[in-house]
């Protein structure tokens, strides 16, 4: 059964199929949640579950502690929804940007010393 995931504070909503992680579903909807390793090791995709429940998935115990799980923190690259979700993530950008937008983001990244993913 497809569940619905809503992101705060941006208010984007997208569907997640039973075999998908939150990150996979977001990417399929052309939405960008920050990520790195995609296997529960780096913590880049860490965010908060405001409502609903997840299977936290396989991850490094040091990357997501039991205490964090009790407080509703999850790694969205490996978390699979068990219900409709409302989540909070640090940053979200549309994956599909036009070339001018990518150019501006690259320039902005250089100014701030940060990388920009495409
Ligand atoms: S992307 Fe590395 S833990 Fe999720």
- List domains and CATH numbers for the chain: 3-112 (3.10.20.30)
pLDDT value at 78 more than 80:
yes
Of 59, 58, 56, residue with least CA distance to 42 = 59
- What is the reported pLDDT for 118? 45
Of 16, 14, 10, residue with least CA distance to 93 = 10
Mean local confidence (pLDDT), 63-69: 97
- What is the reported pLDDT for 13? 93
- What is the reported pLDDT for 31? 85
Taking CA atoms, 62 is separated from 26, 72, 85, in Å, by: 25, 16, 24
With 0.75 as the threshold, say if the pTM is over it. yes
Say which range, 34-43, 69-78, 88-97, has the weakest mean pLDDT.
88-97
Beta bridge partners of 95: none
Beta bridge partners of 47: 74
- What is the reported pLDDT for 10? 82
Distance of CA 29 to the CA centre of its chain: 12
Torsions phi, psi for 88 (to 5 deg): -125, 125
Cα angle: 95, vertex 21, 32; to 5 degrees: 15
Say which residue, 53 or 98, is predicted with more confidence: 53
- What is the reported pLDDT for 97? 63
Output the CA 78–ligand 1 centroid distance in Å. 8
pLDDT value at 114 more than 60:
no
Q: Is 49 exposed, middle or buried (0-12, 13-18, 19+ CB in 10 A)?
A: buried
Q: Ligand 1, from 22, 26, 27, 38: best to mutate by most atoms within 8 Å of Cβ? A: 38
List pocket residues of ligand 1, CB cut-off 6 Å: 35-38, 40-45, 63, 75, 77
Output the CA 3–ligand 1 centroid distance in Å. 22
Output the CA 52–ligand 1 centroid distance in Å. 20
Output the CA 23–ligand 1 centroid distance in Å. 10
């Amino acid at each position: 059964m497809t569940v619905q995931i809503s992101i705060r504070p941006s208010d984007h909503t997208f569907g997640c199929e039973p075999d998908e992680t939150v990150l996979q579903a977001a990417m399929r909807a052309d939405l960008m949640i920050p990520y790195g390793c995609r296997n529960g090791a780096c913590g880049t995709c860490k965010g908060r579950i405001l409502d609903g429940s997840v299977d936290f998935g396989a991850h490094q115990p040091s990357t997501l502690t039991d205490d964090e799980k009790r407080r509703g923190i999850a790694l969205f690259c490996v978390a699979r929804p068990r219900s409709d979700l409302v989540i909070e993530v640090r940053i979200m950008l549309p994956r599909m940007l036009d070339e001018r937008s990518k150019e501006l983001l690259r320039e902005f990244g250089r100014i701030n010393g940060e990388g920009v993913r495409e």
